[in-house]
Amino acid sequence: MKKQLMITALAALFSLPLLAADPAPLSQGEVRKVDVAAQKITLRHGPIASVGMPPMTMVFEVEKPELLEGVSAGEKVSFQVQQQGNRYIVTELHVMK
């Protein structure tokens, strides 16, 4: 029992530097809709640990319209999202081949 606690504590310690070095890993999603004019993208996304969001389909704002270039519905993407108040802004977007 004690040994198990120790292992858990050690595992937590070792995972901390990893989290600190990479606080927001890329999330995965599938493009549902792209709206270049409105600078918005609809994604069916997996869990986004960095903002504590479960999987769902939702609309994101994008930081700059260039991020949407060559991106179309049906494609799988990896992306980075930043929360600003109640806005969720995609700051990085990559189509997965």
Rounded least distance, CB 67 to Cu ion, Å: 17
Residue with Cβ nearer Cu ion (10 or 33) = 33
Using CB under 5 A, which of 6, 51, 56, 95 touches Cu ion? 56
Site string for Cu ion, 15-54 (x = CB under 5 A): --------------------------------------x-
DSSP 53-92: B-SEEEEEEESSGGGGTT--TT-EEEEEEEEETTEEEEEE
Query: For residue 31, how far is the Cα from the chain centroid?
Result: 13
